[in-house]
A and B are shown apart, each in its own frame.
Chain A
């Protein structure tokens, strides 16, 4: 029977079998390989975002003008809130790595405490992201979309944004939303914008110091502001619908692709954070119940830690490509 066993002459060598050349357990190694594949998924999304952005490089929205809000504060604070979110996520990564470190020392109380802080950090981040989405969906100043799908925004002569609600002259005769209870019962339509294009046009006529701003970027990287006559002409000839906020169809901040990618990529990341929090909670209870104490190793904390750091790692890139670049 000896002859059926192939003798390769590599026994005892690193890759000869039977030993662990990577010195990592199966679970940890698989977590790493999962992370590689997930990283490729995210880079696919971000590269697609870059593709669309390069395609419309001359008219892409300026992130500093889109994300300007901070909860409980009025005014224009670009970047501040998202920097806070980034810091929260890095901070929760730190508490996670401290939990892993405490696990190496088999210190159950410390692992419990740091896991708890990590979960809190994750929840703050997911909550912040929900708020950010809410603000983005609700919109700021409103805009008019043209027949060609471009966005016309309004500014005063100094270049400050003007909200459509500030200039539009409401017409009492404008139509109301069709609902199935007061019309055809099998037909329904979504919420109508607060104003019609006509009402906005009348408002623009009545406010001589308001101008139209297009999506197009100038040489200096600012949005093009049209002259007064050009503004009136553009709105009259090309204005199609009033847009307030952003969703998957329309986007008051500029090209609707921007909103689509924002929802898709930050949504997918937010989903990762959410599932990370859920997994962290499960591990947290296992720690409290003493599962890993009995097992004699806190390696499970290390594995979820890897996932949690990966979520942080992805956010670092999302932050750069959505908010900075």
Chain B
């Protein structure tokens, strides 16, 4: 079953000798990513405050780093890397598709309502 672990991360850039060693390696990676997030969150560099596709660049960086962390938790801690392709796709594609769909609809609608509020298309102080 899952006794044969795949022991490389970052597309083979780092190869580990044993599963235990890989676990510690992934922990170091996750800690570095979290530390970067916290440091950026505290200092909020001015240069990252530019808007990219409707959101601050800093927020995009946070979201991308979160997805990176989620990937390593799922692939290495939950051993998704060692599951068959079919199981992996059933779980990951289903969730990713539905979540993207839901997030798109709700954020789009939230942004629209914000526009209605701020541009005063609806009067309530008559």
Residues of A within 8 A of B (CB): 21-25, 29, 32-33, 35-36, 39-40, 43-44, 47-48, 50-58, 64, 78-80, 83, 86-87, 90-91, 93-94, 96-98, 100-101, 104, 221, 302, 305-306, 309-310, 312-313, 316-317, 319-320, 323-325
> Most chain-B Cβ atoms within 10 A of its Cβ — which of A33, A55, A100, A302?
A55
**How far, in Å, is A260 (CB) from chain B's closest CB?**
15
Top-6 shortest CB links A-B: A54-B110, A51-B110, A51-B106, A320-B66, A22-B87, A83-B38
Whether B70 and A317, one on each chain, are in contact in the complex, defined by CB atoms closer than 8 angstroms, is yes
B111: chain A residues at CB < 8 Å are 54, 57
Which size bracket describes the interface of B in this complex? 35 or more
A319: chain B residues at CB < 8 Å are 66
Whether A29 and B23, one on each chain, are in contact in the complex, defined by CB atoms closer than 8 angstroms, is no
Whether B38 and A79, one on each chain, are in contact in the complex, defined by CB atoms closer than 8 angstroms, is yes
A221: chain B residues at CB < 8 Å are 49
**How far, in Å, is A240 (CB) from chain B's closest CB?**
17
A47 to B106, CA, bound (A): 6
B16: chain A residues at CB < 8 Å are none
Whether A94 and B84, one on each chain, are in contact in the complex, defined by CB atoms closer than 8 angstroms, is no
B24: chain A residues at CB < 8 Å are 94
**How far, in Å, is A319 (CB) from chain B's closest CB?**
8
A96 to B63, CA, bound (A): 26
**How far, in Å, is B40 (CB) from chain A's closest CB?**
8
Whether A23 and B1, one on each chain, are in contact in the complex, defined by CB atoms closer than 8 angstroms, is yes
- Minimum CB distance partner of B80 in chain A: A32
Whether B91 and A32, one on each chain, are in contact in the complex, defined by CB atoms closer than 8 angstroms, is yes
Q: Scoring B residues 57 to 82 as 1 if CB is less than 8 Å from chain A, else 0, what string do you get?
A: 00100110110011001101111000
B50 CB-CB contact with A under 8 Å: no
**How far, in Å, is A51 (CB) from chain B's closest CB?**
4
Task: Give 17 A-B pairs besides A98-B23, A305-B78 with Cβ atoms closer than 8 angstroms.
Answer: A22-B83, A29-B87, A33-B91, A40-B95, A43-B95, A50-B107, A51-B106, A51-B109, A54-B114, A58-B118, A83-B38, A100-B79, A104-B19, A309-B77, A309-B78, A320-B37, A320-B62
B42 CB-CB contact with A under 8 Å: yes
B122: chain A residues at CB < 8 Å are none
A306 to B74, CA, bound (A): 9
Asked, given contacts A32-B91, A324-B62, whether A64 binds B118 with beta carbons under 8 Å apart, the answer is: no
> Most chain-A Cβ atoms within 10 A of its Cβ — which of B76, B84, B102?
B102
Whether B103 and A50, one on each chain, are in contact in the complex, defined by CB atoms closer than 8 angstroms, is yes
Asked, given contacts A54-B110, A320-B66, whether A97 binds B117 with beta carbons under 8 Å apart, the answer is: no
A90: chain B residues at CB < 8 Å are 27, 30-31, 34
Whether B3 and A44, one on each chain, are in contact in the complex, defined by CB atoms closer than 8 angstroms, is no
CB within 8 Å of A: which B89-123 residues: 90-91, 94-95, 98-99, 102-103, 106-107, 109-111, 113-114, 117-118
A100 to B82, CA, bound (A): 14
B53 CB-CB contact with A under 8 Å: no
The answer, among A40, A53, A93, A104, for a CB contact under 8 Å with B77, is: A93
**How far, in Å, is B63 (CB) from chain A's closest CB?**
7
A87: chain B residues at CB < 8 Å are 31, 34
